[in-house]
């Protein structure tokens, strides 16, 4: 917790957890989160525990120095394990993921050391951040004071004031006449016309996307103001290595937002705050300093860069895997694929990170009654829908993957889950047993490869909310592509 106070516009900053190191005891994060490779986002299906098995499997079939494609890069755990021995092309269709991949993977032996030498958070971020934050703090002066007071009391176990503040917090969009006196000065940021003129170039001092959309939903008001101010500061970095520096800091900001959300481990749905236990959990998350956590992530990224010997030629893409494999000019020796397992598209679970990365003021989806959804999702055409998450398409999608990889002459390594994978849910009713369903699954790859082998690992997978369930994690290794076009798609 901060051991000092800061005066900003005459307001006393709320006691906060100011760094990653201070968060574990209160929020349940562990230092092991940063053991080994650089751990980044809170992410369902992250492959940290399987990285040794996956890396060994890839090494068994891929000579060192060759090109490896990680086509569903996610948090980058697998790509990070490969960058010292291989040229790695990492890809993800989501913008937030491609940013994190770029910050951890797209480096060479020289560029990583140059970037480290040029990074200076207080010089690169602080001046513009302070200027922008002051504008928003002035507009939200009264509610900020109430929020800070409520959070201070909530951390001491007194929930009454913070519960009242939460219940009375207006959620965008509001009618101006419905705003309580406490919020009147902030009306331009909370009413339906708040984004008039924001489709083109808007005043940099007026950026308020996260404050309008997500304060009181996934973040505290002050955290949302921090997010906007940090995002603006990042976008305005100029000079030598500016693009790499912007990507580095944006990755750190995305990680901070991911681990500071007052949701569960994702953004599919805000918490219900009726029970004391939920309110206490949310208060602890919302008392954390986004700026402090981001700065720590930036430091951890720099440490990771200093400890990693990068092979040359690494690249990052933001593309649908089908488009990427159809236009690739250099044949990868091995393709690693970790496709989505369930019918839940990741674009639903991590939409806030996508909005923060793109920062483009998307239209928010409305329910049939005309109200915005509780989760504050962007409209559907903004959110990528994977064929691996659609029951009628998932089998054909696996065939397409196997066919595309074999056509390139590449070996293929695939991660999937039994029995929770969507394809197994399709196979099991007709097969009767998991063993038969597994053989049918492997048969898809045998259509395109002469050698197909399997490794199984028992793991606990995270589910929606904070639930977990045991599954068998499958690692399928495919070698010797068949020359005949035997994979119908």
Q: What CATH number does the domain containing 474 carry?
A: 3.40.50.150
Taking the model in full, what pTM does it have? 0.88
Q: Is there a contact between 415 and 74 (Cβ–Cβ < 8 Å)?
A: no
- Examine the domain organization and report whether 151 and 224 are in the same domain: yes
Residue 354 lies in a domain: no
- Examine the domain organization and report whether 173 and 200 are in the same domain: yes
Dump the DSSP string for 69-82. EESS-TTSHHHHHH
Cα separation of 359 and 16, whole Å?
Answer: 26
Cα separation of 31 and 92, whole Å?
Answer: 27
Cα separation of 230 and 238, whole Å?
Answer: 15
Residue 298 lies in a domain: yes
Residue 370 lies in a domain: no
- Examine the domain organization and report whether 194 and 246 are in the same domain: yes
Neighbours of 140 (CB within 10 A): 24
Cα separation of 244 and 107, whole Å?
Answer: 10
Here the tokens at position 302 are 């720099």
Residue 164 lies in a domain: yes
- Examine the domain organization and report whether 269 and 339 are in the same domain: no
Neighbours of 456 (CB within 10 A): 12
Q: Is there a contact between 52 and 473 (Cβ–Cβ < 8 Å)?
A: no
- Examine the domain organization and report whether 125 and 253 are in the same domain: yes
- Examine the domain organization and report whether 143 and 43 are in the same domain: no
- Examine the domain organization and report whether 171 and 296 are in the same domain: yes
Cis peptide before 316 (omega within 30 of 0): no
Q: Is there a contact between 402 and 445 (Cβ–Cβ < 8 Å)?
A: yes
Reading the chain (489 residues) residue by residue, the pLDDT tens digits are 222 223 232 222 333 334 333 333 333 333 333 334 678 887 766 666 789 999 999 999 999 999 999 999 999 999 999 999 999 999 999 999 999 999 999 999 899 999 999 999 999 999 999 999 999 999 999 999 999 999 999 999 999 999 999 999 998 888 888 899 999 999 989 987 666 544 444 555 679 999 999 999 999 999 999 999 999 999 999 998 999 999 999 999 999 999 999 877 777 778 888 889 999 999 999 999 999 999 999 999 999 999 999 998 999 999 999 999 999 889 999 999 999 988 776 667 889 999 999 999 998 988 888 888 888 889 888 888 899 999 999 999 999 999 999 999 999 999 999 999 999 999 999 999 999 999 999 999 999 999 999 999 886 555 544 456 667 999 999 999 997 655 544
Residue 65 lies in a domain: yes
Residue 323 lies in a domain: yes
- Examine the domain organization and report whether 280 and 143 are in the same domain: yes
| Boundary (domain end) residue, out of 258, 283, 307 | 307
- Examine the domain organization and report whether 321 and 460 are in the same domain: yes
Residue 1 lies in a domain: no
| Boundary (domain end) residue, out of 279, 307, 335 | 307
- Examine the domain organization and report whether 101 and 208 are in the same domain: no
Residue 21 lies in a domain: no
- Examine the domain organization and report whether 402 and 278 are in the same domain: no
Domain of residue 329 covers: 36-108+314-346+388-481
First to last CA, the chain: 57
How far is residue 96 from each of residues 75, 101, 151, 249, 387, measured CA to CA in Å? Answer: 9, 9, 30, 12, 20
- Examine the domain organization and report whether 239 and 254 are in the same domain: yes
Question: What's the number of domains the chain is made of?
Answer: 2
Cα separation of 345 and 49, whole Å?
Answer: 22
């Amino acid at each position: 917790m901060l051991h000092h106070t800061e005066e900003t516009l005459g307001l006393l900053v709320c006691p906060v957890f100011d760094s990653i190191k201070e968060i574990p005891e209160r929020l349940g994060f562990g230092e092991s989160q940063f053991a080994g490779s650089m751990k980044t986002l809170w992410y369902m299906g992250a492959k940290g525990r399987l990285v040794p098995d996956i890396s060994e499997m890839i090494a068994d079939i891929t000579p060192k120095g060759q090109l490896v494609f990680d086509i569903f890069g996610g948090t980058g755990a697998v790509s990070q394990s490969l960058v010292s021995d291989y040229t790695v092309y990492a890809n993800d269709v989501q913008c937030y993921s491609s940013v994190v991949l770029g910050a951890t993977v797209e480096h060479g032996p020289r560029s990583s050391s140059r970037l480290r030498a040029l990074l200076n958070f207080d010089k690169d971020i602080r001046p513009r951040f302070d200027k922008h934050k002051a504008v928003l703090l002035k507009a939200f002066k009264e509610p900020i004071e109430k929020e800070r007071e409520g959070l201070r009391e909530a951390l001491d176990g007194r929930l009454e004031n913070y519960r009242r503040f939460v219940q009375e917090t207006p959620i965008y969009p509001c009618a101006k006449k419905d705003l309580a006196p406490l919020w009147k000065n902030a009306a331009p940021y909370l009413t339906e016309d708040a984004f008039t003129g924001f489709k083109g170039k808007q005043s940099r001092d007026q950026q308020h996307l996260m404050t309008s959309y997500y304060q009181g939903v996934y973040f505290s008001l002050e955290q949302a103001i921090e997010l906007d101010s940090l995002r603006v500061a990042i976008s305005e970095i100029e000079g030598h290595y500016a693009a790499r520096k912007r990507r580095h800091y944006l990755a750190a900001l995305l990680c901070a937002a991911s681990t500071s959300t007052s949701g569960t481990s994702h953004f599919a749905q805000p918490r219900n705050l009726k029970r004391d236990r939920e309110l206490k959990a949310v208060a602890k998350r919302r008392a954390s300093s986004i700026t402090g956590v981001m700065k720590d992530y930036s430091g951890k990224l720099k440490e990771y860069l200093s400890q990693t010997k990068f092979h040359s030629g690494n690249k990052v893409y933001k593309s649908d895997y089908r488009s990427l494999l159809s236009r690739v000019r250099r044949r990868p020796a091995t393709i690693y694929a970790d496709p989505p397992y369930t019918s839940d598209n990741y674009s639903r679970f991590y939409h806030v990170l996508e909005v923060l990365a793109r920062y483009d003021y998307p239209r928010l989806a409305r329910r049939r009654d005309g109200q915005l959804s509780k989760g504050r999702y962007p409209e559907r055409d903004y959110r990528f829908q994977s064929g691996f998450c659609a029951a009628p398409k998932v089998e054909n999608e696996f065939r397409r993957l196997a066919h595309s990889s074999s056509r390139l002459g590449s070996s293929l390594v695939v991660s999937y889950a039994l029995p929770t994978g969507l394809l197994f849910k399709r196979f099991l009713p007709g097969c009767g047993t998991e063993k038969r369903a597994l053989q049918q699954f492997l048969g898809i790859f045998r259509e395109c490869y002469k050698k197909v082998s399997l490794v199984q690992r028992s793991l606990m997978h995270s589910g929606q909310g904070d639930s977990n369930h045991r599954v068998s994690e499958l690692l399928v290794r495919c070698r010797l592509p068949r020359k005949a076009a035997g994979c119908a798609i």
